[in-house]
Structure 1
């Protein structure tokens, strides 16, 4: 059976059409084909099918359409029901999108063979019968996928034109490219190909006119200048540059004075497209001095592969030769080349005879003379320091130099410096797939994903794993994934290279000086701390040094690529580097020092969390929100490590974090941490246990897990009663009252919240009194007592304003807005929501859950007033904030952006 979406939706089997004729059935099938073998929930299908016009019997109608569709496709096996939704099983079937993806991936791997690559791309493009999904793109999710596929189609055409030009088929391309340039004026590769094809057909004037027309259109209509590569092509066409000829000039391949020393390009080169484009632009841009481009990065990150790949891309622009030298600045077991040896090797490659015993300066002068007035590319791979480089630079502006190094500080031109980071997960999977072959990778996709994660985006690690698997074709990929889970650094080794040995080289350089040894100690101790990244203050505490000293030591670690500095005050390690640092600490540092370092780190973390989370500490501002956004990814790992090393610190740490996690919408994480705190506190004092149970119950409540919330908060209430825990009881009763409100148990809610308020007043806890008043006002409202609801909510707002509790003030004002809205007093609602938003934004709470909540209320109120145009951007901004906070899915965001008025997202529902 063949499913085809690269054009109007079609289904066929043995030459017989099975395409459904009903529009709703076509739409359902298309939605399932977006993500084959993946369940699409029924609510999502209903929203996409009917938008806001969903009929009362929508689910019944959907079931009928699915039944008809099943019959059309041949029974139950093709469309399956699972986990509250439908999925399509493509076992034994073909989908043209998959065939297109496979052919274009194979073509990319054969880019060095234009005949084969062009044939595969032609075959891929022949699968297209018209715009993807035909007339079904009115459905938002399908429209997004159709746009993605159209982008891939145009790129495939560009790549096929590349292959045709390489094969000398410029004459055949002109008519096609003329149309493509007209239809896609912003796709500059089409214009590039068109100009080159015209020039190679001896139509220089038309090629130049094509550039002028294209540039005029880009500037006049879009305010954009053509890319540097287009300007460069225009310059070359104007000057009839030899490099534009369809066959290389004889001097490139036959002249004895033109060395061609570049290593073979990497066949399985994946990702890095933007980086390679930047490097090639820098190497070939017109300049009065030779461009010097530096590529730096961690050992094993793929610097050499990127440099060689970029060098091959521009080799034809340097017809007088390409020199390549491995300087061995980071090669295990080898000494770095001395500057004199570097120069001597390059002079020998250029057939320059060296007499007597010249000095470094004399050799450098000979090299500059030999490269004068010539166009030579020099690749200096694996440099240790600037001393290896400074004398090896040519003097002719026609030459260019490409350097790779582990130390970014030796970049000759800081503005021509690229620091490589790890491959993305998808790029890692792509590289493994290329190295192992499509069939083997596709047979165990879960294991491939696990291996990609274990290798942390390090190309060296991925290549070593693939080499091991290719050496053992009988192994399951799962076996290798399991080995990496058990002993990652030990497995990432080979007969000639190992990830550990590349780190060893850098570490030995680091400990060669007294200052470096101090940095190495900080490196080892920081590696013990289970956080994705950390602030300077936390790292200083771990190492037991002051912050200025920590900054100095961290700078050394950044220079040698052991540590990244993603933002001004934060530092992170690559996963494999952290494992190496931890190994080193276990080998070198005594257990007592390791434990003391972790204890200092935990205590520093707790102190910061308490400062940030204290309700009366300071106004809610960007410092708090920024710290939370930066640290939240590490909370789980840090708390679990604290539980292993210092369990008594877990309850206070979670209590300090809970207010921040709760107010910023990180409820699932709060459930995880609060449950851990409950388990640990169960064997200790009742006070911390009651607080942990309160936090767990409130997180359950916000996740709409109401039975669990009611159970844990009821047990917490009984615990506070047995032990006379008045302060803890205030918060527990407040949470329990909220749960009763959600269960529509209004009398129980008012009773619990009234007791909570009275206890808060008795012990002088103003923050809890305000919070309870806010909840009590909502309880009155849902119990039908609106006058009491308004007066209580206003009392909460006045008390919060009087005591400077700005978050509570914003919450109370927002609740007043919703109360006015539900009684159709839209002018008062708009005023209340606007006041709430002013408080939030004045204190840095943009992009947060509270802001999204008030924005949504304001938008609904403006819509009710008839001002839908002004409401639309508010709904959109609120939805995007919720998606950024991971509180709604991409499909929910897409639906909200495409629907007017949109459905209120689940995280904002009052119950």
Structure 2
């Protein structure tokens, strides 16, 4: 986030009002200032704290200007008195006061910019690194969701639903980042319930916790994220924890995403508990399943990509991955892909990845073998798997042993006992065919796989 070079005229006027009131009241509109939000948690009079600390900084930087403001406002000295004291003309004193006002406003504006940057950084850290550099065909959906969430009488609980690969997590992530940039809420939360699968575990694909235990884990993780481990009651009581969480979310409205809620055996009980935490806090839930008997739940389906959006996505993948056949393909051929895939973004990306190893006419000819989406995914994953060499297959299998948020080269090396260079070569191939995503964050590159890829690898292990 880049700071503005100088504060606006409205901000400068507000600083003058702050001086006139000697910090007794906040200027109009300053309740939403991030520096005020930070101070309010520990100070009963944030306006006074802001003014005193800004004056201290001004005194260190420009003693004359700080002294001039102090005499004019705190000591209520008249302009004529200041003229005699400093042997300055009336116009010179007014000019010096304007410069002092501007300097004080600049100090406060710098503080606000630092507070905003700190806020954005802290909130971004709660999100997962996005896997897609661009989203297609979701602008209208994002606008609609934003309006619903920011509307005073809008739903407090929104369920974003759709089959795997439709981009529920990506939309929730993009919406969270938009709202963070706007500082639309006092804070943000993100809890992911992506199932973890081990190929060498003989249990079923997803071994859920008992319902109540799973719900407890969700609320405990959310409490730690928002309030810290010290907020967990001891001895532990879910009732006490929910009460603390409810109090915090009532006084400091948040926007919270619970991702992949379908991982729980029954999502209705926890939705009822979440609903009790809402208002004014807003929740966005993503799930492949949708209940029909939860009051106050707004259900929003992820739409399939329309023809133009699918074309744009395929063209983007072609440029990004240097797939010449796809770059040169006429719209009619891209439309044939879209007609078979049905506008599922992940499926389109997987088809684009296949063009690294198969000619476009062959891919188009074989797409009809998977008209149903679950058949298509099975078909396309089998095709992708068969195109990999032994090294890439070995690394991809290792990826399924990593936690849902992925891992780095060192973690993959610990599983495969391959050299980092060999792993990077394999990862480059897997990224090209869209079987592996790379998330680049402050700690470096992390490699992840989609839950559908993980499910396919589980079936591979079962067959072998």
TM-score normalised by L of structure 2: 0.49
Larger radius of gyration: 1
- More helix, by proportion: 1
TM-score normalised by L of structure 1: 0.26
